[in-house]
Amino acid sequence: MRILVLGSGAREHAIVTALLREDAGHHIIAAPGNAGLAHDVEVVSLDATNGKVVTEYALENDIELVVVGPEAPLVAGVADVLRSHSIPVFGPGKRAAALEGSKTFAKRIMDEARVPTGRAVRAGTLQEATASLDEFGAPYVVKADGLAAGKGVLVTDSRDAALEHATYWLQHGSVLIEEFLEGQEVSLFLLSDGHTVMPLSPAQDFKRLGDGDTGPNTGGMGAYSPLPWLADRFGSEADFVEEVIETIALPTVRQLAKEDTPFIGLLYAGLILTEQGIRVIEFNARFGDPETQVVLPRLRTPLSELLLASANGSLSSHAAPEFSPEVAVTVVLASEGYPEAPLTGREITGLDEALSVPGVTIAHAATARLDGRLVATGGRVLSVVATGDSFAEARSRAYEALGAIELEGARYRHDIAEKVAR
């Protein structure tokens, strides 16, 4: 197949890596890509958020499937333009992508579908936000209503910090003040063709910058899959997944279909396991980063088949995806100053040595070639991914590989998957 993958991050590199692993002779093009993607496949300079530009390119180059990686093109409606020209696309249209683009919309859909989630109040002014913060009390949860690149959520015991966060994001739109939910968090990806949903393997990510879940929220500093501890509470991972499908995923997809807003693509359910049961923290409308980097390496079923079946509405006739019994761990290498003010342009070395570690791959997130040197171009620079027969083995491999990589001032967490490796 001729496949166009839109995006330039580690998520897209992980998707491309999984497609290449099929050894099916796919011709893959990434737009706009990064240095790692350019090493593996053809890359083109393309505005991924411009539906007209993307569609014209797809038509001129006989693209058979478009895979939309990041949220911005989805919220911009790129998938709608592609579908209007009968081009198969994995990714929801603009209205359905509001499930991620507007937390107010997502809460309404969940309320209509009776999906379990935390209480929330939308605030359009600082006065409204202050009143809601005082109503809910500490710990305070403040979320930007729109897209915020993973940086719009603050959970804090400090009322002043909560007000400061609300004040900042109110400049860009409304905010949601939510009740605090406590428990283990789980990320579950669910493929959807607008009617049928099909789960992938659960993962857990680490959103805080520092070890021990300290520091500010980020786009994600690491992840692991599968989650062996789910069996302690649900009997098995399969039982947990089935409950999520029946109480969360299917009701949501059916509600969107009822509103003539079919969700076609990847429904990302950010979940928390409270004492009262599973609750939705948030929905995203695409593969998550860095969870994609640990879920797809374990996937044995050809990814292209699953994406195309979702795009063309035939998911119900496809067998459930199979996964390797191996485990996967990814650790994100970030630039100095991330997430507030990452320093860019610094050279990255040592990747060949890192890749010589058994079971290790590297997904590029923010890299480019400059005068023959590999340099960092953003905050989260690389995802070092390692697989193994145990979490101890996978962690050891990941951190050994990280030790070989040089990037001045870079930082990473040292405790990814530490608890499950004991």
Among the candidates 317, 347, 370, a domain finishes at 317
Same domain, yes or no: 236 and 198 = yes
Same domain, yes or no: 88 and 200 = no
Q: Which residues share a beta bridge with 224?
A: 204, 329
Asked whether residue 112 is assigned to any structural domain, the reply reads no
Predicted local confidence at residue 23, as pLDDT: 85
How many domains does the chain divide into?
A: 4
Phi, psi of 208 (to 5 degrees): -75, 150
Give CA separation, 85 vs 52, 53, 79, 100, in Å. Answer: 10, 13, 10, 25
Among the candidates 94, 112, 135, a domain finishes at 94
Asked whether residue 100 is assigned to any structural domain, the reply reads no
Same domain, yes or no: 313 and 399 = no
Q: What is the CATH number of the domain that holds 128?
A: 3.30.1490.20
Whether the CB-CB separation of 387 and 328 falls below 8 Å is answered with yes
Predicted local confidence at residue 149, as pLDDT: 65
Q: In which domain, by residue range, is 367 found?
A: 327-421
Asked whether residue 53 is assigned to any structural domain, the reply reads yes
The whole-model pTM stands at 0.94
Same domain, yes or no: 238 and 136 = no
Length of the chain: 422
Predicted local confidence at residue 150, as pLDDT: 62
Same domain, yes or no: 337 and 294 = no
Same domain, yes or no: 298 and 334 = no
CA distance 150 to 359: 29
Same domain, yes or no: 190 and 289 = yes
Same domain, yes or no: 306 and 200 = yes
One-letter amino acid at 154 equals L
Predicted local confidence at residue 147, as pLDDT: 75
Residue 52 is encoded by which pair of tokens?
Answer: 């007209």
Following DSSP, what letter does each residue of 220-251 receive, concatenated? -SEEEE--TTHHHHHSSHHHHHHHHIIIIIHH
Going by C-alpha positions, the residue among 267, 275, 219, 220 that lies closest to residue 244 is 267
Asked whether residue 354 is assigned to any structural domain, the reply reads yes
pLDDT by residue, tens only, the chain of 422 residues:
999 999 999 999 999 999 999 989 999 999 999 999 999 999 999 999 999 999 999 999 999 999 999 999 999 999 999 999 999 999 999 999 999 988 889 999 999 999 999 888 888 899 899 998 999 899 999 988 877 666 688 888 999 999 999 999 999 888 989 889 999 999 999 999 999 999 999 999 999 999 999 998 899 999 999 999 999 999 999 999 999 999 999 999 999 999 999 999 999 999 999 999 999 999 999 999 999 999 999 999 999 999 999 999 999 999 999 999 999 999 999 999 999 999 999 999 999 999 999 999 999 999 999 999 999 999 999 999 999 999 999 999 999 999 999 999 999 999 999 999 98
Same domain, yes or no: 37 and 143 = no
Predicted local confidence at residue 172, as pLDDT: 87
